[in-house]
Amino acid sequence: MIKFPTPHYDKLKACLNNPQLPPADLEGVQESLKQYQQWIKALESVTPGQADTVEKLVEETNRYQRFIELDLIFDSSDNFLYRQKGQLKLDNTILEEFLPQLIYRSLQGIDESFEIGPRNTFSGLSFLSSLGNIGQGGEPSLRTKNQDFVLGKKLYLKTAFDSGFHNYKLLESHLGYVCAECKTNLDKTMFQEAVATSRDLKIAVPASLYFLVCEFLDMMPVSIISTQIDDVLIVRKNKRLPANIRQQYKTPESRKRYRQSYADFLDSSKYYPDVFQRMINKIQILIDDTAPEIDKILKRGHF
């Protein structure tokens, strides 16, 4: 059985054990761990491969996410959880944990031989060997990149100067057939970094897919035609809250006063199933793109 990564659960546990956690928030974090278990159980109960699989998985995640963002963080009677959101990462790790669950349960043709989740992936190979110092196996050097999400396989490379592989050098990495970078608020700098990453990935694994997945847009949209990014997915279909609005939520008293407006914003910024479905469809096409039979090719007249 595939072991799914748990970055969000790990942050919840770390928060619970954080000595700076105010006593007033202790009960809320403990309740969050219970809600987390219910969320995972709900995801596991969704039947894979059905027409509404993605919709149900997203629905369960929206329910849990609203609890974390509104009931736990925003409604806190202290400032710790809200002001330290960037460091605690209680809310923005939900997407990272949800994505592997979604991909695995929504695709057909993915078995347990694949690895799924954050991985350090292969992006290039060079040799440091020289005439004066040939080194062991040509002294291969891997160039790798940490990806927030990878659907791929473990890769082993062995190099030597003889066919018997004596005095060889063994390297280990991952081949990322599908890679994704997850961002909470996508800005121009993050986009430009993703452009460079996708280019390296496509050079190393030309048949791979690269997605830039963000919750909120914090930049002017630009064309990706000239890049190697397959899709920029804005899963909440919304822009980041303006700074002047966020300033209104600085204290527990002000958050209580503006709670309804924030709740309305969250309700309009849920995860949208059709955005995730677009990602699933593109990956499924890649899975189904096996070596074509010549009779079928001749019948349709193209390949």
Q: What is the mean pLDDT of residues 205-216?
A: 96
The answer for residues whose C-beta is within 8 angstroms of residue 213's C-beta and 6 or more apart is: 95, 99, 149, 180, 181, 182, 183, 233, 235, 279
- Residue 296 is predicted with a pLDDT of 76
Q: Which residues pair with 209 in a beta bridge?
A: 178
pLDDT at 11 over 90: yes
- pLDDT tens, 48-77? 888 899 999 999 999 999 999 999 999 999
Q: Which residue has the tokens 């479905």?
A: 277
Q: Is the pLDDT confidence value at 292 over 70? A: no
pLDDT tens column, 108-159: 888 888 999 999 999 999 999 999 999 999 999 999 999 999 999 999 999 9
Q: Global pTM?
A: 0.90
pLDDT over threshold 90, residue 261: yes
